[in-house]
A and B are shown apart, each in its own frame.
Chain A
Amino acid sequence: MFELLIDYGPRLLDGALMTLKLTFLSVSIAALLSLPLAILRHSGGLAVQLPIRLYVSFFRGTPLLAQLFLLYYGSGQFRPELQQLELWWFFRDPFYCALLTFALNSAAYQLEILRGGLQAVPRGEIEAGIAIGMTPRLLYQKIILPHSYRIAFPALGNEIILMLKGGAIASVITILDLMGNTRRVFSQTFDISVYFWAALIYLLITTGFVLLWRLGEKRLTRHMQHQLNGSQSTTPITATRMEESAHVS
């Protein structure tokens, strides 16, 4: 079991780097996409909301694997058209195809999470902002967005972890991520323990990420620490609720 790690460990690490790169890039692009979409979905008119709703239902309602196949093999069918548009270099590369699919998928989830955050911002805070004459832009910058992100933060972390693990299917379109390299090593050794090592690496990555995310969460809620320390539970959900009730009362 350990000999395998000596022989093939570097390849698994290579794969892990690819997995990190793919996840980091796709959730970052998704984060950039999801913010304006969430605001439009939250406060736009029906004509704006409808296409966003359709987009969200499609990406949340179909399997990620199906989306990946559709984009990868689907784009392959339109090579002449894509070449005319000078887009084929993008769709030719499996990495870009996976990146685009994952980013669109994650953006759909992230925008729904953010919308939840936007809706949960207490009315009173917004009214207070308007009362002291904040412009809408300032209102978003100083009140609505910081508060929404604070509420959405734990759920966003969850989404990133799901993306990291869901990204394992990139290996079916020949990307050598952690799962892809694991499958290759398995096909060369028939040693099932390679899946154990792969699982361990995934676990290490997610554990590291959870710890980092928790630090971020602490920092975001540091103005409420004294309240949290006084209460029995320190889970973020409670933190949010407590804060809301504090504002209501």
Chain B
Amino acid sequence: MNKNLRSLALSAMLAIAPVGSALAADNLTLRIGTEGAYPPFNYFSADGQLGGFDVEIGKALCAEMQARCSFVAQDWDGIIPALKAGKYDVIIASMFITEKRKKQVHFTNPYQKAAMTFVVPKDSQQSDFSPEAMAGKTIGAQGSSTQADYLTALYPDSDVRLYPTQDAVNLDLVSGRLDAQVGDMIPMLDWTRGSEDGSCCKLAGEPITDPAFVGEGVGMAVRQEDDALRQKLNKALDTIVANGTYKAINDKFFAINILTLK
């Protein structure tokens, strides 16, 4: 009796197993990690849904790959460790491709171009942003970011303050605790021109494009062993750029094409 039951269970498992794996092969399921605090790239909308450029690009890629996708919001500081721990399969969160990060994860081809910029209050007279000129000034940036690396490496004589989110940096630039901040070009453009509190401030100085800090651009990050997924994402990205889907999403959010910065 006992033996019969066991063999019954075994055959049932055998019968199910091939069906399960066949389903997985046809329908790729993908969990996408993003931050949800970095408008207009990724944010929680008023109704609590994740939205933004990154999220829509993710959805378009999923449609292209015929994958079933779900989104996971994760704090920026832990976004790479959580990928490596398997909490999701790919990060689409406007992450710059840098040498340091490449040691941890692998990146797809860039889906945005990278540049950083100084932002100062509108009444600021500052025009020279060299480390010497900024000595003793308070400069803010989001922690664990390329901006943070840039400031800590090149501005040792400034009071560099690192915040957990970009929103927090913006708040403190508005309140006047900061003399300046360094942020990613496009969100800063968007923030200073498109939002009420951002109207306090303006971009200043030359765009910072030093490849030692901003790398080759913004990519999607996957675990180093997931090369098949990386190639699938690259292929899908090429397709949505070629067929105009990318441009349609781009134009919803930005006045310029952020893949070419033109």
A187 touches B77 (CB 8 A): yes
Q: B157 interface residue, CB < 8 Å from A?
A: no
Q: Is B190 an interface residue when CB atoms closer than 8 A count as contact? A: no
| A73 on interface, CB distance cutoff 8 Å | yes
A190 and B161 contacting across the interface, CB-CB below 8 Å: no
* Chain B residues with CB under 8 A of A76: 171-172, 174-177
Contact of B148 among A92, A173, A187 (CB under 8 A): A187
Q: How many residues of A contact B (CB 8 A)?
A: 18
**Given A73-B171, A190-B104, A192-B81, does the pair A184, B162 have CB atoms closer than 8 Å?**
yes
Given A76-B171, A187-B77, verify A92-B143 contact (CB < 8 Å): no
Known: A76-B177, A186-B77. 13 other contacts (CB 8 A): A73-B171, A79-B175, A92-B177, A94-B161, A173-B163, A183-B143, A183-B144, A184-B162, A187-B77, A187-B143, A187-B144, A190-B100, A192-B81
What are 27 residue pairs bridging A and B, where the CB atoms are less than 8 Å apart in the complex?
A73-B168, A73-B172, A73-B175, A75-B175, A76-B172, A76-B175, A76-B176, A76-B177, A77-B175, A79-B175, A79-B176, A92-B176, A94-B161, A94-B177, A172-B163, A172-B168, A174-B140, A183-B143, A183-B144, A184-B162, A186-B77, A187-B77, A187-B144, A187-B148, A188-B100, A190-B104, A192-B81
B48-96 contacts to A (CB < 8 Å): 77, 80-81
Mark each residue of chain A from 182 to 202: 1 if its CB lies under 8 Å from any CB of chain B, else 0.
Answer: 011011101010000000000
Which residues of chain A in 57-94 are interfacial with respect to chain B, using CB atoms and an 8 Å cutoff? 73, 75-77, 79, 88, 92, 94
**A207 smallest CB distance to B (angstroms):** 28
Residues from chain B with a CB closer than 8 A to the CB of A73 are 168, 171-172, 175
Query: Quick check: A190 and B174 within 8 Å, CB to CB?
Result: no
Distance in angstroms between the alpha carbons of A187 and B103 in the assembled complex:
13
Residues of A within 8 Å of B172, CB to CB, are: 73, 76
Contacts of A188 in B (CB 8 A): 100, 149
How many chain B residues touch the partner (CB < 8 A)?
Answer: 23
Interface residue B164 (Cβ < 8 Å from any Cβ of A): yes
Q: Which residues of A contact B143 (CB under 8 A)?
A: 183-184, 187
Cα–Cα, bound, A56→B148 (Å)? 39
B residues with a Cβ closer than 8 A to A are 77, 80-81, 100, 103-104, 140, 143-144, 148-149, 152, 161-164, 168, 171-172, 174-177
Distance, CA A73 to CA B81, complexed state (A)? 29
How far, in angstroms, from A140 to B175 measured CA to CA in the complex? 46
Which of A75, A183, A192 contacts B77, CB < 8 Å? A183
Which 4 A-B residue pairings sit nearest by Cβ, starting from the closest? A76-B175, A187-B144, A174-B161, A172-B164
- CB of A202, distance to nearest CB on chain B (Å): 19
Using CB atoms, name the residue of chain B closest to A175. Answer: B161
CB < 8 Å neighbour of B81 from A75, A94, A172, A190: A190
Which residue of the partner chain B has the closest CB to A172?
A: B164
Give B165's nearest chain A residue, CB to CB. A172
**Within the complex, what minimum Cβ distance (angstroms) separates B224 from chain A?**
13
B196 to chain A, nearest CB (A): 13
Nearest A residue to B177 via CB reads A92
Name the distance in Å between A101's Cβ and chain B's nearest Cβ: 16
Residues in A whose Cβ lies below 8 Å from that of B77: 183, 186-187
| A contact residues around B149 at 8 Å (CB) | 188
B residues in contact with A187, CB < 8 Å: 77, 143-144, 148
Which A residues touch B163, using CB under 8 A? 172-174
B199 to chain A, nearest CB (A): 16
Set of chain A residues within 8 Å of B171, measured between Cβ atoms? 73, 76
A172 partner residues in chain B, CB cutoff 8 A: 163-164, 168
Cα A243 to Cα B81 with chains together (Å):
55
Per-position binary interface string of chain A over residues 155-193, scored 1 when its CB falls under 8 Å from any chain B CB and 0 otherwise: 000000000000000001110000000011011101010
Distance of B48 from chain A, by nearest CB (Å)? 20
CA–CA, A169 to B136, complex, Å?
26
Tell me the smallest distance from the CB of A22 to a CB of chain B, in Å: 16
In the bound complex, CA of A184 to CA of B164 (Å): 11
B176 contacts across to A, CB distance below 8 A: 76, 79, 88, 92
Q: Give CA–CA (A178, B164) in the complex, Å.
A: 16
Contacts of A79 in B (CB 8 A): 175-176
| Chain A nearest Cβ from B77, distance in angstroms | 6
Closest to A78 in B: B175
In angstroms, how far is the closest chain A Cβ from the Cβ of B233? 22
A77 to B176, CA, bound (A): 10
Minimum C-beta distance from A106 to chain B (A): 24
